[in-house]
Structure 1
Amino acid sequence: MSLFRSTLDVGSAEFAANREAMLDALAALEAEHAKALAGGGDKAVARHRRRGKLLPRERIELLVDPGSPFLELSPLAAWGSDFAVGASVVTGVGVVEGVECVLIANDPTVRGGASNPWTLKKTLRALQIARENRLPVIQLVESGGADLPTQKEIFIPGGQLFRDLTRLSAAGIPTIALVFGNSTAGGAYVPGLSDHVVMVDGGAKVFLGGPPLVRMATGEIADEEELGGAAMHGRVSGLADHVAIDERDALRIGRRIVARLNWRKRGPAPGPSVPPRADEEELLGIVGTDLSRPFDPREVLARVVDDSDLDEVKPRYGPSLVTAWARIHGHPVGVLANAQGVLFSQEAQKAAQFIALANQSDTPLVFLHNTTGYMVGREYEQGGIIKHGAMMINAVSNSRVPHLSVLLGASYGAGHYGMCGRAYDPRFLFAWPSAKSAVMGPAQLAGVLSIVARAAAEARGTAFDEEGDAAMRAAVEAQIEAESLPQFLSGRVYDDGVIDPRDTRTVLGLCLSAISSREIEGVGAGRGDAGFGVFRM
């Protein structure tokens, strides 16, 4: 065994200050999560209950196995926009009849469950997770369709939702629609494109055109039940495979459908799960508010991996990047974790080799971000930092084993890319409240703009406005700081959620279990492909 011996001083003033700052950030985060939980507000919730209906999270709770975890995804979607936090839909991974499934539940208390641009983005991300990890999809449908004032941002890209449902089915990944209320116009195609459809009698309404539209288009007078009620679809159109007597019955039928799927995981079974020897509670005090101050990611790993057991690779070479083998909840993983922020040529080459080794052994990779990017300057440019950074990005881009990313601190510049940022399709990506991500740090970005402006003034032969420059730098720093915050990025669905550091091991364990639903194979594993691209040596 290679036990990591922690040197973290939990009695220090620095640890106490870091912990206090993290708790404050978590309290602010909880207040934002509460907005998503509140749905459309007390009046809308009360009106929904008077109709005898369950809330979306109540439906999910009754659907998943008792006592099993539900990993909610993108709960802060639409944060900072004109739309409600949560984007009027709940998504996540839950266990139904022992099968991990992606769940998508409309929240009808928020403007009738109407889909806005962030609803679409969040839903498409959930379907991507289902496709990449081979997870059955269960949609809990009750939506008034598209938010018409923003249709220009929904209609064109929204067709991907229908495309994805058909492709999931074609890939042998089951899609199930449980319809509790309205699923009209374009939304009618959600049950229409699903493998299994359950409708609640007296509640579900599925039609392309409602009574007013039908009357205007054809002159025909028909009520909602005739056009799209569950009874009609169960007896006449055949769209409904099952008609439930009420919502709880629909959820019961949904569970029985999953139980009959004969679903089996294709990935390796985990080994025994051994808790870390170091206390997970201490994760609160490792990362401070000043991300320019480095921290040892091994201290994080000692509180996340099984038995605090790490086998580090090349510990003396490229020391600002830790590469190590470990297990999390019995699942073998390779870890790449930034130690000192900056990535040099040695770190980039070390990462590329380690990623190749993980692909050779079919081992998932976990990336822990705290990087300001690749090093710049005459010495490093002449030393080949571009080609070495490109080598690392090449390896990350073409790696075929599953990737999981967690942003702990800074994640700036091309370092964000090399450490498998969102654009590189990690299976899951989460952030700590301490994380920040942008093209570069706020002070650096403002400083660059200032230098460029000063050079331009000199070239014109005009006086440089020092006061204006100071105001510009302050404004730019404030803007970039605000746009680097995890709430801002999570609101745009650039991650799958901002998590409590103490939940890191649990969240990664749930993700590792989910990705094992499909085969875990590295580059070239029976595919006949060329493997990695050309490495510039």
Structure 2
Amino acid sequence: MDDGLDGIGAVDAGERLASALDTSGAEYAARRAAQLERIAALEREQAKAVAGGGPKYTDRHRARGRLLPRERIELLVDPDSPFLELSPLAAWGTEYPVGASAVTGIGVVSGVECVICANDPTVRGGASNPWTLRKLLRADEIALANRLPLISLVESGGADLAGQKEVFIPGGRLFRDLTRLSAAGIPTVALVFGTATAGGAYVPGLSDHVVMVDERARVFLGGPPLVAMATGERADEEALGGAGMHARTSGLADHLAADEYDALRIGRRIVASLNHRKAGPGPSRPAREPRYDPEELLGLIPEDLKVPFDPREVIARIADGSAFAEFKPLYGPSLVTGWAHLHGYPVGILANAQGVLFSDEARKAAQFIQLANRSATPLLFLQNTTGYMVGTRYEQEGIIKHGAMMINAVANSTVPHITLVMGASYGAGNYGMCGRAYDPRFLFSWPGARSAVMGPAQLAGVLSIVGRQAAAARGRPYDEEADAAMRAAVEAQVEAESDAFFLSGRLYDDGVIDPRDTRTVLGMALSAVHGAPVEGAQGFGVFRM
């Protein structure tokens, strides 16, 4: 029988993972039902971003003969090719609309993977609020780190003046990023569909290639009202900043498009002429589907994140051929490490098995990360960790220095890192498993994921103990009723603020994804990171042994 491993190299020569997941039991059914509820909630929240400013403003935008941002993206990318939307829940849980009035993501344009940023003019005219800024800056980071051309679909009124104090000063980074991308030889393209005012005018001004739609695009530092206030001049919009003027007189526009469709066609032609090539290697072998159905991932994760699960069950449903060559399987068993392929790309995987990280796990991780850097192999971190173990025994055994060794290795590793938060992500375990602070190229979360300094009950309990000790030190009785109220309030707050939607709204990940899409999303991310050279670290910091 073909085991899916014939003719492939040493990395896949390990055993094909055998699944022990019981898909017919009541526990599996309950977990699946809970996960489907969470996915339904995710889809409802994502629909808010797709709705933009709502029916009134989308209808008005269409009545003007204009396309919506996702329609523009769909026409820009290659037919039937996927678009990996990033941070669709940006601004979730804030006073600003979900999606942060912009769409960002990675798509293939004329055969070239590109980062695409599109203003949503149905949300306050496409004006940038603080979360728009964060979302666009994150897209710039992705373009620069992975050497992906950046395409800006521009129609923006500039900064949302009501929030200018949080936009104006840090917003200068958007313009700095455009110049740095260009200086690094990473092409930047601006397609201007409507108004680009004030700071928005610098997006075409600083891009390598600029297309403007005739009689629609308006690009000026100051519109007619501001010019009138500043100079007394009564200026005509077309003469001041019209597409025709910029194509014929100022020279800001390189191409004058007849309409939006023509602008998108010209944009595709520009990308086709870039002669842009990936600097990293392609897949090392043909992709092979996993031997287990990704649909089964829905019944894998316990609703109670204190209940452990075997991450090999996840690996079996995302890795090529479900093949996994495990490294040190008998040592440090609460961290699973090993080699696999995903969509043909080699990866080193670190996955939390039982949640807690001990000294052996930390040392194992540090060695494995060094090996991945020696072989220039990207790393995939599958997080389900409650942090490093605490207690007298573990402190005396050196958990601090061993955890520091692992964090040192992660921080100084130079191969691409991709992180997926499957379940819990608490304490310094978040750092050791390459959380957002450690700059993974991409970080995604499953809908039920949680991340905080510690679990809600533990955090509330610590505060309670501290309060009791303070009362005892002052010789005062402890208010048990107030303590119970405090614990309940703290638990509720931490529960809300550790939620995947909350964290994604603050751009602590690049998106909450349906577990069934994990292999596809990770495959697209792996393809993107190979736009840049894949090189291992030449040295690490001092390991405290």
Q: Under TM normalisation by the shorter chain, which class is it?
A: over 0.9
Distance 2:307 2:50 in 1: 35
Deviation at 1:216, TM superposition (A): 1.8
Letter in 1 for 2:222: G
Match of 2:9 in 1: none
Match of 1:420 in 2: 434
Match of 2:411 in 1: 397
Pick from 362, 365, 368: which aligns with 2:376?
A: 362
Deviation at 1:263, TM superposition (A): 1.0
Match of 1:461 in 2: 475
Query: Per-residue displacement from partner, 1:242-263 (whole Å, max 9, x unpaired)?
Result: 0000000000000000000001
Pick from 24, 27, 50: which aligns with 2:37?
A: 24
Match of 2:16 in 1: 3
Pick from 252, 255, 258: which aligns with 1:245?
A: 258
Distance 1:51 1:278 in 2: 49
Conserved 8 A contact 1:143-1:183: yes
Deviation at 1:31, TM superposition (A): 0.5
Match of 2:544 in 1: 536
- Structure 1 spans left out of the alignment, 5+ residues: 525-530
Deviation at 1:8, TM superposition (A): 0.5
Pairs within 5 Å for 1:225-240:
225-240=238-253
Q: Give the SS at the match of 1:95.
A: strand
Match of 1:527 in 2: none
Pairs within 5 Å for 1:249-328:
249-270=262-283, 271-328=285-342
Query: Per-residue displacement from partner, 1:65-114 (whole Å, max 9, x unpaired)?
Result: 00000000000000000110000000000000000000000000001001
Deviation at 1:504, TM superposition (A): 0.4
| 1:61 aligned onto 2:84 | no
Deviation at 1:218, TM superposition (A): 1.5
Query: Per-residue displacement from partner, 1:28-80 (whole Å, max 9, x unpaired)?
Result: 11100010010000010000001000000000000000000000000000000
Match of 2:179 in 1: 166
Match of 2:83 in 1: 70
Pick from 126, 130, 148: which aligns with 2:139?
A: 126
Deviation at 1:390, TM superposition (A): 0.2
Query: Per-residue displacement from partner, 1:377-403 (whole Å, max 9, x unpaired)?
Result: 000000000000000000000000000
Deviation at 1:187, TM superposition (A): 1.1
Pairs within 5 Å for 1:34-113:
34-113=47-126
**TM-score relative to the length of structure 1:** 0.99
Deviation at 1:294, TM superposition (A): 0.2
Match of 2:517 in 1: 503
Deviation at 1:518, TM superposition (A): 1.2
Letter in 2 for 1:205: R
Distance 1:47 1:134 in 2: 37
Q: Give the SS at the match of 2:106.
A: strand
Query: Per-residue displacement from partner, 1:253-284 (whole Å, max 9, x unpaired)?
Result: 00000000001111111020000001111000
Letter in 1 for 2:260: E
Moved beyond 2 Å, runs of 4+: none
**TM-score relative to the length of structure 2:** 0.97
Letter in 2 for 1:523: A
Kindly tell me the number of residue pairs found equivalent between the two proteins. Answer: 531
Distance 1:240 1:268 in 2: 36
Distance 1:490 1:258 in 2: 31
Match of 2:228 in 1: 215
Distance 1:403 1:458 in 2: 48
Distance 2:530 2:158 in 1: 34
Match of 1:176 in 2: 189
- Structure 2 spans left out of the alignment, 5+ residues: 1-12
Query: Per-residue displacement from partner, 1:441-475 (whole Å, max 9, x unpaired)?
Result: 00000000000000001001111011110110011
Distance 1:491 1:325 in 2: 33
Q: Give the SS at the match of 2:218.
A: coil
Conserved 8 A contact 1:396-1:424: yes
Conserved 8 A contact 1:343-1:415: yes
Distance 2:535 2:436 in 1: 21
Distance 2:361 2:306 in 1: 19
Distance 2:106 2:323 in 1: 28
Distance 2:121 2:524 in 1: 28
Deviation at 1:185, TM superposition (A): 0.8
Aligned-residue RMSD, C-alpha: 0.5
Match of 1:490 in 2: 504
Distance 2:393 2:138 in 1: 42
Q: Give the SS at the match of 2:428.
A: helix
Query: Per-residue displacement from partner, 1:158-214 (whole Å, max 9, x unpaired)?
Result: 000000000000000000000000111111111000000000001100001111111
Q: Give the SS at the match of 1:154.
A: helix
Conserved 8 A contact 1:288-1:434: no
Match of 1:381 in 2: 395
Letter in 1 for 2:543: F
Q: Give the SS at the match of 1:206.
A: strand
Conserved 8 A contact 1:178-1:197: yes
Letter in 2 for 1:196: H
Deviation at 1:305, TM superposition (A): 0.3
Match of 1:190 in 2: 203
Query: Per-residue displacement from partner, 1:134-155 (whole Å, max 9, x unpaired)?
Result: 0000000000110101100001
Match of 1:146 in 2: 159
Letter in 2 for 1:451: I
Deviation at 1:369, TM superposition (A): 0.3
Distance 2:502 2:228 in 1: 45
Distance 1:217 1:500 in 2: 52
Letter in 2 for 1:105: A
Letter in 2 for 1:468: A
Distance 1:68 1:326 in 2: 26
Deviation at 1:221, TM superposition (A): 1.5
Distance 1:210 1:278 in 2: 59
Q: Give the SS at the match of 1:315.
A: coil
Match of 1:528 in 2: none
Distance 1:431 1:213 in 2: 44
Distance 2:367 2:528 in 1: 27
